[in-house]
Structure 1
Amino acid sequence: MRTTAVAGLDLTACTMGSAPAPTPVARAVDLLDEGWEAGVRALDAADGTGGAESAAGRWLEERQPEGIVVLSGVGAVVGRGRGSDLSPVRLEADLAAGSRRLGRIDLAWLRGADAETTLEDTLQPLAGAIESGRLRGWGAGDADVWALEALLGEADRLGLPAPAFVRIRLNLLERDRLRDLASLAAGAGVAILAGAPLGAGRLTGRHVAAEESAADAMRFGAPRDVEIDPALDALVALRDLARDLDTSLEGLALAWLLATEAVASTVVTPRAKADWDAVHQALAQPIDAETVERVESLLP
């Protein structure tokens, strides 16, 4: 599996996330074992600062895996016009809690943006953690090109460590942010991590089959409270292409991300053992540039 250097660490092309509740912790630990066996050497413990026992924390404690890169989100989404709490007090508390629960955090990513805390106040605790060796690098979560540019500019002005990566929602149905970010990120040496690679379930064969059935039923007058997925035609075409390539829609969606040069790593969070099948397919059946063009030509 290819790797990309991020803050001096080798980040594998896939990063595994630990399945959240209601998946039982013991089952989620088994799913992380599956990722390790597949060669994944990065773990995004998005819940690493929470209060309940996490699968990521138990897996790290029990397995003591060598060479694993540990990522965790810091800051809290609070809403009410503020967005997230990225204050120094909050970040220091989250870094301490994450290190206590996970053993360490190598790469921390900010959960959103804070409309009340200055960028300088947000960057200072991250810089302090890097200087003290508690952290290797940090990144921005769900940042657009303007947010990343602001973070890079402020870090440069203050002489503090710049973001090493940006973690965004990215999949075949949500590609606009990649087009905006790719050039800036490449020029600044910022790696791009793709979250939500299956579009919250829309890029799955199960979803497409259900939407097809619902559309057929509605043509015969069956009522439905929600609209049919507006991308259904494209999803059907993608599924048919996947079948031609002897893979699944999920496998093709992941393979597209793995073949996208601008993407350093894709965060996959299987909730059942069978969900790893798509990851195995994508790793075993990489797609070439011609297939990438065919895939993208089917999309609106």
Structure 2
Amino acid sequence: MVALGTTGLDVFPLSLGGNVFGWTSDQETSFRVLDEFLDGGGNFIDTADAYSQWAPGNVGGESETILGEWLTSRGVRDRIVLATKVSALSTAKGLSAGTIERAVEDSLRRLQTDVIDLYWAHYDDADTPLEETVAAFDRLVRAGKVRALGASNFTADRLEQALKIADSTGTARYLALQPHYNLVERGIEDDLLPLAQRYGLATVPYYALASGFLTGKYRADGSAGSGGDSPRAGAARKYLDGRGRAVLPALDEVAAETGASVTAVSLAWLRTRPTVVAPIASARVPEQVADLLAGARLELTPAQAQRLTDASA
């Protein structure tokens, strides 16, 4: 386990994404995925109240509900670092004090727990004063409903404003950053990563595998391995551009050298980046979990990490 920045939480260096629970994975399959992750040494699970409201027939909260049923049926709440989010659910939109107060109670109920270990602001809310949001989150921490706070999908400017408000008022502040970051999406290196370094934020990147592209399934010759017709296939194939075509051969080379999968190498590269503690990746079926666990344990040499960095520049 590794320290999640200054949150006081110790986590496995990979977070299992819960976005597929109740979407491409039904409850039974989700339970098997979660069992596999826990049995393999994982303890850090990421979900959101909005997962998976985009799926036909869903209203949101499906992932939290499945996760809560699993935690209770297995009796393992004390072994899990549990993260969820607020602001994107259609019935709990934004970061006003009232929305946060209602949303946390709904998430606690669905998750069948009395405390959320890491509570993320899923998206920034420009219509609510940052002071109001910061104060609302602080009240949750003081009430013992939330242990630590994080910010996702913020610009560097807005995030720094929120951090300064919290520091100046002596209230709980964001201690973690959840950005879109992987080998083919490196835009945060110009502003958000330096900000995370300055403020001591732990970075937990989402879309760590670029919607499956960095598993090596999708190739320029049109071939696609298992999952090639999955709901995320279109999003993955968009990376078959100049950068993507350069990254895949480099991944193949490092995978051959290490004996690991392309998936594991992609995750291991992220873990070499400044402030990154635990990339987020999801598994639709339990058979996919082994590669995620391997990615949390694989140590690249500096030369291998640099080769990937250069290929994706």
Q: Name the structure 2 match of 1:229.
A: 240
CA distance in structure 1 between the partners assigned to 2:74 and 2:6 by the alignment: 24
Task: State percent identity of aligned pairs.
Answer: 26
Q: Is the CA contact 2:251–2:308 (under 8 Å) kept in the aligned structure 1?
A: no
Compared CA separation, residues 31 and 156, structure 1 to 2 (3 A): same
Q: Name the structure 2 match of 1:272.
A: 285
Q: Name the structure 1 match of 2:177.
A: 166
Q: 1:47 deviation in Å?
A: 3.4
CA distance in structure 2 between the partners assigned to 1:71 and 1:13 by the alignment: 14
Q: Is the CA contact 1:71–1:108 (under 8 Å) kept in the aligned structure 2?
A: yes
Q: Name the structure 2 match of 1:120.
A: 131
SS at match of 2:222: helix
Matches within 5 A, 1:139-288: 139-208=150-219, 211-213=220-222, 229-230=240-241, 231-241=243-253, 242-288=255-301
Unaligned runs of 5+ in 1: 79-83, 215-225
More displaced 10-residue stretch of structure 1: 87-96 or 144-153: 144-153
Unaligned runs of 5+ in 2: 52-59, 224-236
Q: 1:127 deviation in Å?
A: 0.7
Q: Name the structure 1 match of 2:108.
A: 99
SS at match of 1:107: strand
Q: Is the CA contact 2:94–2:125 (under 8 Å) kept in the aligned structure 1?
A: yes
SS at match of 1:169: coil
Q: 1:271 deviation in Å?
A: 0.7
More displaced 10-residue stretch of structure 1: 181-190 or 89-98: 181-190
Q: Is the CA contact 2:61–2:110 (under 8 Å) kept in the aligned structure 1?
A: no
CA distance in structure 2 between the partners assigned to 1:149 and 1:71 by the alignment: 22
What is the one-letter code of the residue matched to 1:27? T
CA distance in structure 1 between the partners assigned to 2:127 and 2:264 by the alignment: 41
Compared CA separation, residues 239 and 5, structure 1 to 2 (3 A): closer
SS at match of 1:30: helix
Q: Is the CA contact 1:48–1:101 (under 8 Å) kept in the aligned structure 2?
A: no
Q: Is the CA contact 1:15–1:265 (under 8 Å) kept in the aligned structure 2?
A: yes
Q: Name the structure 1 match of 2:4.
A: 4
Q: 1:112 deviation in Å?
A: 0.9
Q: 1:284 deviation in Å?
A: 4.5
CA distance in structure 1 between the partners assigned to 2:303 and 2:238 by the alignment: 34
Q: Is the CA contact 1:112–1:142 (under 8 Å) kept in the aligned structure 2?
A: yes
User: Which has the larger share of strand?
Assistant: 1
> What is the TM-score when the length of structure 2 is the normalising length?
0.82
Aligned length, in residue pairs? 282
Q: Is the CA contact 1:197–1:268 (under 8 Å) kept in the aligned structure 2?
A: yes
> What is the TM-score when the length of structure 1 is the normalising length?
0.86
More displaced 10-residue stretch of structure 1: 115-124 or 156-165: 156-165
Q: Is the CA contact 1:13–1:264 (under 8 Å) kept in the aligned structure 2?
A: yes
SS at match of 1:140: strand
CA distance in structure 1 between the partners assigned to 2:238 and 2:204 by the alignment: 31
Q: Name the structure 2 match of 1:24.
A: 26
Q: Is the CA contact 1:192–1:262 (under 8 Å) kept in the aligned structure 2?
A: yes
RMSD: 2.2
Q: Which has the higher contact order (CA 8 A, sep 6+)?
A: 2
